[in-house]
Every structure is written in C-alpha cells, then in structure tokens.
A and B are shown apart, each in its own frame.
Chain A
Amino acid sequence: DVKVTQSSRYLVKRTGEKVFLECVQDMDHENMFWYRQDPGLGLRLIYFSYDVKMKEKGDIPEGYSVSREKKERFSLILESASTNQTSMYLCAATGQLIYEQYFGPGTRLTVT
C-alpha cells in the first residue's frame, strides 16, 4: 500500500507566523496534492505538483505557496498565517497509471 505521511497531526500557530506543512510519500509517485477541508465547503485543492520543481495552482492558492525539491516530499507554506487559514490540511499522492489518490492522515491547523 502507498503510504503518505504528514509531519504533524495538530498544529497551533499565531497570526503572521510562517508555517510549513510537510508531506512525504513512500512510493515513486509523480503527482502530489494539497487540499484543505472545511465544514460546509468540502475539500478544495490548493496546489498540486506533477514532478519535481513543478507546481500548479489549484482552486484556492491565495495565501499559500509550495515547494517540491524531491520527488517524495511536497511542502505547503503559509507565508503569513491568518485566522481564516485555520483548517484541516490533507496531502495526497497518485501514480501515473491508474491515478488512484492516496491521502495522508491530515494536519489540523489552528491559527490564533
């Protein structure tokens, strides 16, 4: 089974802090994704990457950036955290052939 891990399950940060969320996959998967999940709004795609150093904006990229220096690692960066970025953040990876998406356990971020 594909394993996708995220660096923290719970995180509390202050407004204005720079926040890094890390995601690592243990298979040789090309595509990686960052979503956020909010009650009533469902899952929304923030950014995705289909190769090392490649990235594309999703539906809600404002206030976020990403980094993919190695194939197995995809980082989400909140340059200056704000309270409206309090959310559950989910990372996913998918292969090139069947494109089944595998998700990490999620990071619950609270910005105070």
Chain B
Amino acid sequence: KQEVTQIPAALSVPEGENLVLNCSFTDSAIYNLQWFRQDPGKGLTSLLLIQSSQREQTSGRLNASLDKSSGRSTLYIAASQPGDSATYLCAVQGGVKAAGNKLTFGGGTRVLVKP
C-alpha cells in the first residue's frame, strides 16, 4: 500500500529565504505526483504536476523535482513571501489507470513566512 510522508510537518522562515519542502513515497510505481497548496478553511489549489517520465516542473518561483527510484520529490519556492504562507501537500497517483486515478496524500507541511 502506497504511503506518502512529508517532513517537516511545519516550517517557519523569514521573508526572502528559499523554501524547500520534501515528500517521500514508498512505492515507486507511480503515474504522476502533484503538489497542492491549501489555505486555512479552503480547498486545494494545484501547483504543479510531474508525470512519472519527467524529472522536474517549473512555474514561476516554484520548481518541483521527482526522483522515482528513490521515492522522493522536492518543492522549491524561491524568494519566499508572506503570501506563500499555507499548507503544502503532495500526492501521488498510482500506476494503474483502472484504479480511477486515485491520489494518495501526504500529511502536508504547514509553512509560515515571517515578514
């Protein structure tokens, strides 16, 4: 059974510092990996999706890498801003399409960027 872990559970950094968020998964047979952002009391916003054949994806200040063989993904946020404060979740989709594209989520990393 796939398990997804995000460490640390919480992170506090001063504004301007680069953020590094980690995600690990136990079964390397994944179809894709997705990073989400969640603000308190809100739904999830998709940030980046990395397909299993890709090594990284970039969007603005965000860069996500994927190392399937070691079961790891890292989300980098450059030059953090107070508006980046949120919970960041990673989720992996299993390699079997017939499973309905189900995602397995990590517990999330709660980020606070201090002005």
Q: How far is the CA of A43 from the CA of B106 in the complex (A)?
A: 8
Contact assessment for A98 and B49 in the assembled complex, using a CB-CB cutoff below 8 Å: yes
A42 with B107: CB separation less than 8 A: yes
Q: Can you spell out 27 A-B residue pairs with CB atoms less than 8 angstroms apart? A: A4-B43, A31-B101, A33-B102, A42-B105, A42-B107, A42-B108, A43-B89, A48-B102, A50-B100, A50-B101, A56-B100, A58-B102, A88-B41, A90-B43, A90-B44, A98-B32, A98-B49, A99-B32, A99-B93, A100-B32, A100-B46, A101-B34, A101-B101, A103-B36, A103-B43, A105-B42, A108-B41
CA gap between A50 and B42 in the complex, in Å: 25
B residues with CB within 8 A of A: 31-32, 34, 36, 41-46, 49, 51, 89, 91, 93, 100-103, 105-108
- Are A102 and B46 interface neighbours, CB within 8 A? yes
User: What residues on B are CB-neighbors of A19 within 8 Å?
Assistant: none
Q: Is chain A's interface secondary structure helix, strand, loop, or mixed overall?
A: strand
A103 partner, pick from B44, B102, B108, beta carbons under 8 A: B44
Name the prevailing secondary structure of the B interface residues: strand
- Contact status A106-B105, CB under 8 Å: no
Residues in A lying within 8 Å of B, measured CB to CB? 4, 31, 33, 42-43, 45, 48, 50, 56, 58, 88, 90, 92, 94, 98-106, 108
In contact, B43 and A48 (Cβ under 8 angstroms):
no
A35 to B90 alpha-carbon distance, docked (Å)? 15
Given contact pairs A103-B36, A108-B41, a sample of 12 additional A-B residue pairs in the complex whose CB atoms are under 8 Å apart:
A4-B43, A31-B100, A42-B106, A42-B108, A92-B44, A94-B101, A100-B32, A100-B34, A100-B46, A100-B49, A101-B91, A103-B44
* Chain A residues whose C-beta falls within 8 Å of the C-beta of B34 in the assembled complex: 100-101
Residue of B nearest to A6 (CB): B43
Distance A106 CA – B34 CA, assembled complex (angstroms): 19
Closest 7 CB pairs of A and B: A103-B44, A103-B43, A105-B43, A43-B105, A106-B43, A99-B101, A100-B49
Q: Shortest distance in angstroms between B54's beta carbon and chain A's nearest beta carbon?
A: 11
Shortest distance from the beta carbon of B38 to any chain A beta carbon, whole Å: 9
